[in-house]
Amino acid sequence: AIPPGRVETAGRLAEAIRAAEPRPRVFVSASGVNYYGPRGDERVEETAPPGDDFLARLCVEWEAAARQAADVTHVAVVRTGLVLAADAPLLQPMLPFFRLGLGGSWGDGRGGWSWIHLADHVGLMLLVLDRALEGPLNLTAPQPVSVDEFTTALGRALHRPVLFRMPAVGLRLAPGQAADALLDLAPVVPARALGGGG
């Protein structure tokens, strides 16, 4: 079952926007690239249908709740990739291992790693607000990489070798949906952003 937290919050925000006077020009609801589910090597744009795993279903319901305000204002649903920056929470558990030369890839290494730098994420969010865009927008870098490519680049940036690999079964022992979030990302491209938001 889908937990109610994020979906319920989006619905309450939509309800508040419908009752507000004046209403905001645009309501930006942020879900994630997990919307698309596992896709293998298939690169996906905003027009791709949703996946059918847990995180994809969560994103679908989350976005549907936000769109309850679409008849009174512009509703943009931004599907964010893995946000990277020096202090990004995503990187913090990895960095000690990589700095010790114990970092490595996981799964078969070919999984998608749809990422975006924090500065670009902020810039695209400002674009959405400035132009009052609506509908889905992927917030990712134009070139998604594989897990192997990402971990190799991180090791190179830290001047450390990347010698190890965690099997997918090991990652799947992590609590919650962490394994799905890291193993089953699609290679997502920001087609609308590359086209100027149109």
At a CB cut-off of 8 Å and minimum separation 6, what does 141 contact?
A: 81, 114, 115, 116, 117, 120, 190
| Segment 174-189, tens digit of pLDDT | 444 455 556 667 889 9
Q: Which two tokens stand for residue 144?
A: 């998604």
Q: Residue 172's pLDDT is what?
A: 47
Computed over every residue of the chain, the mean pLDDT equals 86
The SS3 assignment for 147 reads helix
Which of the four pLDDT bands, split at 50, 70 and 90, describes residue 168? low
Q: 138: which strand partners?
A: 79
Give CA–CA dist 35/46, Å, rounded. 10
Instruction: Look up tokens 């698309």; give the residue.
Output: 36
Mean pLDDT of 63-81: 96
CB atoms within 10 A of CB 135: 13
Give CA–CA dist 134/145, Å, rounded. 27
Q: Residue 169's pLDDT is what?
A: 47
φ, ψ for residue 99, nearest 5 deg:
-65, -25
Give CA–CA dist 63/179, Å, rounded. 22
